[in-house]
Structures are given as structure tokens and as C-alpha cells.
């Protein structure tokens, strides 16, 4: 909800689309218009396939990578979340070279064995997987700025190293930008880190918060998808007119000159205030952000790995969360979830949140 929960420009577009029909089970012109905008903002994206969710988009990106490379294995990172597809509901075993083990009931071991798990910001763990299984690896899928083990920023050279490894071994690099795309910058995290993936996965922000996802990439890869190629993907509600209308209206707003500068400045002001509150109260507490994507932690300094995230004082976070809720501030209810700053948040919201955090931290110190 990067423009807020009920921006009048988005609501008006949705109402106009709804009067023409809620769903057609067929392509509509707004799909093409939104796809063209995405292609303009992401130069390597020449084709876009819409889905109904980020989960579906990530799942389809894996199938496409496997079909394109004719390989079965995928590399993901412990702590990175890519939705609820079976192949992606896997976390690390003991050691970076271990085959994945399912982290949810109902995921067959035989399927999980095709998922290899590495450590985010640890390029050596990925190099070891390629050394052992390079001919089997279809793709590396990664959140370029993870938000699902709270916000973790990529170490210098890490994402560029993934790009080099994938190119060297004939695997595809897939950026899951469901959280970071159109939120840390208009061109996503890949614009900020200056690394070009083979496939990009987008989520609800491109539909103004409506149920939508998308896969984008070069024509040579994307045209492996049906009906032009042998990789099947379809969905009756994919690219539905309501989500497309909301997405186009949201794109109007976030593409306005200065939008992301204001978003970044507002979020920076909030993060600076939260960090000051942590210092003043003496609590091991900090925050950081990129654009409108931010994280707060029960740690003295921002974490750089999944292992560091797990060192948080979870019980103190629980008390802090409920204190903030009593103050009227609804935070993500987990110490491993990032939070979002929107264009609807103003200075008064920021000031109130900082003041509430200061009181809450004193209460839980």
C-alpha cells in the first residue's frame, strides 16, 4: 500500500474498472499498459507474465528457470521467503552444503532435495554449492534486500558475486522483488545495487495492494512460457482488470517526480528517531531502511545475516510490540518482519511513532 490504504486516485480507477466488469477470464488492455510501464522501468525486462500473487510468480519463475536450463536444482537462502510453493518452503540443514529439509509439513522429501540452501551475504557458501552441484543448478533465487528475516542489506559485492557465479555456470539469477520492487526505488533494489538479474519477481505493490504478482525477463527466456513455449503457466484471475486498474493508478502516483525522494526522507526521519530512542533508553534496539522498506531490531546494531537476526531478544520484542499496540502503533507482529513506510505517512505520524517508541522502550528496558 505504497500510496496509502485508500488513495482517491486509486479508488477512482478501481471504481471505473469495476463498472466495466470484475473479471473476464481473458486478457485486457490494461495488462499490456502495465506491462509496458514495467518494461520501461526495468530495461532488461522485455516480457511480463502476470499472476495472482507473489507466491505464484516465484513458483512460476522456478518452473521457467528449470524449463529453460533443463536442470532441476535451485539455490535459495536461509531466511529468504519466496511464498508457499513446495520447492521454496525449505530452509538450511546443518551446514551450508546440506540438502534442504522441508520447513513445513506436506512438502515431500524427494522434492525438497532439489532445493540447495546457502547463507545470505556469504558468497563462499554459494560458491561451494556450485562447486558441488553446478551442472544441476537451474537458478539462484534471492531477495536482493531481504525483508522476511527482517530487513537485511546486501554486503558489498555479494549480489554482483551471485551474478558472476550464475553467468559462469549457466544458471539464471532470479531477484524476488516482491517486497523491494517499486518500494526502495522506482527501479527496485536492482537499480540501487546495479546488478541485473535474469528474471525479476514482483508482488502486490504493482497492483496498488490488490492480489497480483508478475514475472519479468528477456524475451528469449520468457518466451519459453506457454503458449509460445513448453513451460505451462496460466491463471483465470491473473492480470484481472481491478488489479490492473489499481496498479496503473498507483504507478501514476509513484512515478511523479520527487515521490521516492519524499518517501526516503520520511522513512529516514522515522528511522533516525527510532535509533535516537534506543540510545536514550539504553535498550539494545536499532532500525535501518532503504527507501520505504525498513526494519527494527532488538539488537544494538543492524544484523547482516540470518544468524544475527536470531540473536534478538524475542521476549523483549513481544513486550515492546504490545506496548506499541497500546499506543496505537501497529507494527509487524514478529521480530523477523520488515515494515513499510508509505506516501500517506506524514510528519505527525512519524513524530507520534517516535514518541510512542520512546515510551515503550523505557517500559521494557
List the 293-297 sheet strands across, edge first: 286-290, 293-297, 339-340
Active site annotation includes 204: yes
C-alpha cell at 340: 513499510
How far apart CA 347 and CA 290 sit, in angstroms, is: 18
Rounded to a whole number of angstroms, the distance between the first and last alpha carbons of the chain is 33
CA 246 to chain centre: 19
Q: How many CB atoms lie within 10 A of CB 293?
A: 25
Catalytic residue among 198, 204, 297, 321: 204
Active site annotation includes 91: no
Catalytic residue among 68, 81, 120, 297: 81
How far apart CA 288 and CA 152 sit, in angstroms, is: 9
Catalytic residue among 76, 91, 122, 176: 176
Helices (H), the chain: 8-20, 29-41, 54-69, 109-112, 123-133, 158-169, 188-193, 219-222, 241-254, 259-281, 306-309, 314-326, 347-364
Residues known to be catalytic? 81, 176, 204
Amino acid at each position: 500500500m505504497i500510496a496509502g490504504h485508500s488513495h482517491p486516485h486509486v479508488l477512482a480507477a478501481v471504481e471505473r474498472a469495476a463498472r466495466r466488469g470484475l473479471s473476464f477470464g481473458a486478457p485486457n488492455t490494461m495488462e499490456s499498459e502495465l506491462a509496458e510501464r514495467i518494461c520501461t522501468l526495468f530495461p532488461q525486462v522485455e516480457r511480463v507474465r502476470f499472476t495472482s500473487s507473489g507466491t505464484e510468480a516465484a513458483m512460476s519463475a522456478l518452473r521457467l528457470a528449470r524449463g529453460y536450463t533443463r536442470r532441476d536444482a535451485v539455490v535459495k537462502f536461509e531466511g529468504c521467503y519466496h511464498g508457499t510453493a513446495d520447492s521454496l518452503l525449505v530452509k538450511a540443514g546443518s551446514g551450508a552444503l546440506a540438502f534442504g529439509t522441508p520447513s513445513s509439513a506436506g512438502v515431500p522429501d524427494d522434492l525438497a532435495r532439489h532445493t540447495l540452501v546457502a547463507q545470505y551475504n556469504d558468497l563462499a557458501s554459494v560458491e561451494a554449492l556450485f562447486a558441488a552441484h553446478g551442472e544441476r543448478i537451474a537458478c539462484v533465487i534471492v531477495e536482493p534486500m531481504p525483508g522476511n528475516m527482517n530487513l537485511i542489506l546486501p554486503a558489498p559485492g555479494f549480489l554482483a558475486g551471485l551474478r558472476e557465479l550464475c553467468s559462469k555456470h549457466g544458471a539464471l539469477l532470479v531477484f524476488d522483488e516482491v517486497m523491494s520492487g517499486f518500494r526502495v526505488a522506482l527501479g527496485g533494489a536492482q537499480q540501487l545495487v546495479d546488478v541485473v538479474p535474469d528474471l525479476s519477481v514482483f508482488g502486490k505493490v504493482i497492483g496498488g495492494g490488490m492480489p497480483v504478482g508478475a514475472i519479468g525477463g528477456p524475451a528469449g527466456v520468457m518466451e519459453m512460457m506457454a503458449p509460445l513455449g513448453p513451460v505451462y503457466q496460466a491463471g483465470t484471475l491473473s492480470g484481472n482488470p481491478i488489479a490492473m486498474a489499481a496498479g496503473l493508478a498507483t504507478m501514476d502516483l509513484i512515478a511523479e517526480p520527487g515521490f521516492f525522494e519524499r518517501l526516503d526522507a520520511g522513512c529516514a526521519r522515522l528511522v533516525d528517531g527510532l535509533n535516537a530512542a534506543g540510545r536514550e533508553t539504553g535498550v539494545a534496539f536499532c532500525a535501518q531502511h532503504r527507501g520505504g522498506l525498513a526494519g527494527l531490531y532488538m539488537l544494538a546494531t543492524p544484523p547482516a545475516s540470518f544468524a544475527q537476526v536470531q540473536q534478538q531478544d524475542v521476549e523483549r520484542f513481544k513486550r515492546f510490540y504490545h506496548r506499541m499496540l497500546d499506543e496505537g502503533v501497529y507494527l509487524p507482529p514478529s521480530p523477523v518482519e520488515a515494515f513499510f513506510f508509505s506516501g500517506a505517512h506524514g510528519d505527525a505520524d512519524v513524530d507520534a511513532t517516535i514518541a510512542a517508541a520512546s515510551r515503550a522502550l523505557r517500559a521494557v528496558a
